[in-house]
Amino acid sequence: MNHLLKAMGFWIWGLVAIGLSLSLVSVNYRALLLFNQLGEPAAPAASKFVSTQSIPSSGAGVKSAAQQNPSSPASLRPAISGGQFISRSIARQMTAAQAALQTSRWEEALGHLDAADEVSHVTQFDKKTIDEFRGFAHIKLNRLKEAQVEYTRALATGEFSPAESQRITHMLFQLSAGNQDYATALTYGRQMQALGTASSEDLGVVAQILYLQKDCSQSVLWADKAVASARESGEAPKENWYQFKLQCASDAADNAAMASVLMDLVRLTNKTSYWNTLLRIWRQDEHDDHNLLMIYRVMFTTHSMSGASDYIEMAQLLSDAKLPGEGLAIVDSAISSGLISDQSIRERAVRLRDSLQAHVEVDKADISSGQVEREAAQSPAGDLSIALGQLYYGFGNFQDAITTITQGLQKGDARRALDAYVYLALSQAAIGNAEGAKETLGQIKNAPGVTRRMVDLWQLYADAWIGNIAGLPTVSDKSIQ
């Protein structure tokens, strides 16, 4: 099935793995603004600098010289939390660094921070503060690898509070992922997941990294974690999380797994490309002509027919099923759309159209005589009414189809219950009764002898497509391409 995914464009993943990572893990300063929500300041604030004669063990009741005289340069020191202050020996450099950061002079700020770092006998808290400020400046300069190094050193000092440590860990997770330092990113991602601090987006990034490392089993596991987390939060899962699973299933040539993921993608996005690939997987594995025709019906109504051969094969199956009106509409769609360029295929289509037209005239004459309707009404079983309803649908008489098929179902003992539910639902949808159509398709699971694939096919159609009544093609719509 790899050729199917290549037609959808998924084959490019192996060629642009790094580009994918950068596109999903936005690691520039704009992306890192999300840390404002987690407590990251836009810049080191002036209120962090206070003047004291000694380092207090608690900040309670301390009134800073900066609050009394914000312009005073003497003995200013940044206070972060818990009453901790940087050493007096680097106050001058830190004051200058702060002023540079607040006026977007990033390189100048780094110079002052480097000077502070060269002072001997600084504390771990001093080192943490220098490294954190320096990491911030590197982010502003879009030097993300350097920023990762600085924040890693700052975190290693152990001077952050638990809440601050979570924030910095989250930042380092995104920085390392964007810097293609995948081993480090995975370490942080697993740590956050174990602590319960990872968002669904974080879990999705881990899934992506594992995919890029060709660890499909773990990528699928983490993609499922991301999906579950999003749903628990009341959010819609991301399309790309399922795409990792889809590509892994394709790499393993696992059609069943591909179909399962494609069903999720159809429900999530309702994109024709996913419909097309799913239905072609099912079509390839289907060996019953009756069920194959059902797959073609969904291909047609979801705009998933991609070539003249699809239309011709569907029309031929409809002819074999003695449904010439529907078959004629399908082959007319192929001819009028200009899809048929090959002369031999066009000749075949014209011959098929002529044959179907002849059968249509016969069926119309029989219906006009009233004989078919009388036989259906007199039959104790419902199959004749259902068959008549299918003919009405093919001729575009949707209300007559609804009435007649409903009568056939009410008689019971219908061997063609699957056909009855499908054509009744399609007719209801054609006149704009979406809710009635969905309810009808929900009954398919009760049809005698119905397969799991047919239940899944029509339930998916009801869930993902049938509500879009305005875009629903019918067999009487000759403009469908």
List, for residues 410-445, the tens digit of each pLDDT value.
Answer: 987 668 899 999 999 999 999 999 999 999 999 999
Other C-beta atoms closer than 10 Å to the C-beta of 469 total 15
What pLDDT score does 308 carry?
87
DSSP type of residue 90: G
What pLDDT score does 413 carry?
67
Among left, alpha and beta (phi > 0; psi -120 to 50; other), residue 172 is alpha
Q: Which two structure tokens, joined as six digits, stand for 42?
A: 């836009």
Other C-beta atoms closer than 10 Å to the C-beta of 8 total 15
Show Cβ contacts of residue 153 under 8 Å, excluding neighbours closer than 6 positions. Answer: 127, 131
Q: In a 3-state reduction of DSSP, which class is residue 19?
A: helix
What CA–CA distance (Å, rounded) separates 226 from 228? Answer: 5
What's the mean pLDDT when you consider all of the chain?
Answer: 81
Cβ pair 279, 297 in contact under 8 A? no
Q: Kindly state the average pLDDT of the residues 154-169.
A: 94
What pLDDT score does 1 carry?
53
What CA–CA distance (Å, rounded) separates 222 from 395? Answer: 50
Please state the φ and ψ torsions of residue 380, each to the nearest 5 degrees: -70, -25
Q: Identify the top-confidence range among 112-121, 343-352, 466-475.
A: 112-121
What pLDDT score does 131 carry?
95
Percent of the chain having pLDDT more than 90?
65
User: What one-character-per-residue DSSP string does 207-235 give?
Assistant: HHHHHHTT-HHHHHHHHHHHHHHHHHTT-
What pLDDT score does 18 carry?
32
Q: Kindly state the average pLDDT of the residues 171-183.
A: 94
Its sign, for the CA torsion 67, 68, 72, 74, is negative
What pLDDT score does 381 carry?
87
Q: How many CA atoms lie within 13 A of 304 on its CB side?
A: 25
Closest C-alpha to 245, from 228, 230, 233, 260: 260
Q: Kindly state the average pLDDT of the residues 21-35.
A: 39
Band the pLDDT of 133: cuts 50, 70, 90. very high
Cβ pair 266, 278 in contact under 8 A? yes
What pLDDT score does 16 carry?
32
Cβ pair 136, 113 in contact under 8 A? no
Condensed to tens digits (0 to 9), the pLDDT of residues 341-351 reads 778 888 888 99
Band the pLDDT of 263: cuts 50, 70, 90. very high
Cβ pair 121, 140 in contact under 8 A? no
What CA–CA distance (Å, rounded) separates 221 from 149? Answer: 30
- Domains, the chain, with CATH or none: 14-258 (1.25.40.10), 286-471 (1.25.40)
Its sign, for the CA torsion 384, 385, 391, 394, is negative
Flag whether pLDDT at 82 surpasses 90: no
Cβ pair 272, 304 in contact under 8 A? yes
Cβ pair 51, 26 in contact under 8 A? no
What CA–CA distance (Å, rounded) separates 311 from 334? Answer: 6
What pLDDT score does 72 carry?
31
Q: In the block, which residue shows the tokens 């060269």?
A: 118
281: enclosing H helix or E strand: helix 272-285
What CA–CA distance (Å, rounded) separates 114 from 360? Answer: 88
